[in-house]
Amino acid sequence: MKALITGGEGGLGRAMRARLEREGYEVDSLDLVNGFDVTDPAAWERVEAVDLACLNAGILTADTDLTKLSYDDYRQAVSVNVDGVVLGVQRLAQVMDEGAIVATASLAGLVGMPLDAIYSLTKHAVVGFVRSIAPQIAPIKINAICPGIADTPMLDKHDQRAMFAAAGFPLLRPEEVADAMWLAATSEGTGECWFVQPGRAPAPFRFPNVPGPRSEGTTVGLPPI
């Protein structure tokens, strides 16, 4: 069995690699440090079919103050966090006939995260994309995992580690996120977004229904799209 992980050299990526290797997978780590740029369409053209793909690469915004964030840094965050997932799914859907894809979103894709609004924007995009693309790429399954705050080197980028420690806020271990990835990858569902929180069993998030439109006082169903 073959698998790939983008961002495979980071904290979550390494934990996912270890979990998949324990499950008997031959894992290909696609990471910027070994020459793979998830934002480059040409790089994706060299990727072939796998049994399981983890689209995990992601970055925090360079400056969390929107008034100081440069355009290039904004585009970089969107490109890595969103394009890296979209380009990956596009290529994998071209070369895979079956199998599973798991995208790493975030709890910041289910709720607002004022600490880094652009990061939250990108993870909301991943959540919406996974939910929307699932029927189109079937029988390939695609799900997202939405971890809370994990204990990885990303916490050090904006000096967040001390803040969480001072607040006594529990952090996820990377191994817990990897376990959630495996649950999402092997579940029967598709188009699901699994929340991952310390002390709780990962499970698909149940999105509330939006009230439907009304026509002459009668509520109608979903639009034909």
Q: How does pLDDT run across 175-184, given as a tens digit for each residue?
A: 999 999 999 9
Percent of the chain with pLDDT over 90: 80
β-pair partners for 145: 104, 194
Residue 216: band (very low, low, confident or very high) from pLDDT cuts 50, 70, 90: confident
Which class for 103: exposed (0-12), middle (13-18), buried (19 or more C-beta within 10 A)?
A: buried
CA distance 89 to 127: 13
Please report, for the chain, the start and end positions of each structural domain, with discontinuous segments joined by +: 2-219
Does the pLDDT at position 167 exceed 70?
no
Is residue 157 predicted with pLDDT exceeding 90? no
pLDDT confidence tier of residue 215, bands split at 50, 70 and 90: confident
Q: Where are the beta strands (DSSP E) in 42-190?
A: 52-55, 100-104, 141-147
DSSP conformational letter for 191: S
pLDDT value, residue 158: 54
Confidence at residue 7, expressed as pLDDT on a 0 to 100 scale:
97
* Banded pLDDT at 130 (limits 50, 70, 90): very high
Please say whether the beta carbons of 56 and 6 come within 8 A: yes
pTM confidence score: 0.90
pLDDT tens digits, 179-214: 999 999 999 999 999 999 999 999 999 998 888 787
- The reported pLDDT for the residue numbered 210 is 85
Beta strand pairing call for 203-204 and 193-196: antiparallel
Domain range 2-219, CATH architecture: 3-Layer(aba) Sandwich (3.40)
pLDDT of residue 170: 78
- C-alpha to C-alpha distance for 148 and 191, rounded to whole angstroms: 19
- Model confidence over 43-87: pLDDT tens digits? 999 999 999 999 999 999 999 999 999 999 999 999 999 999 999
Portion of the chain with pLDDT greater than 70, in percent = 88
For residue 21, give every residue at least 6 positions away whose Cβ sits within 8 Å of its Cβ, in sequence order, or none: 27
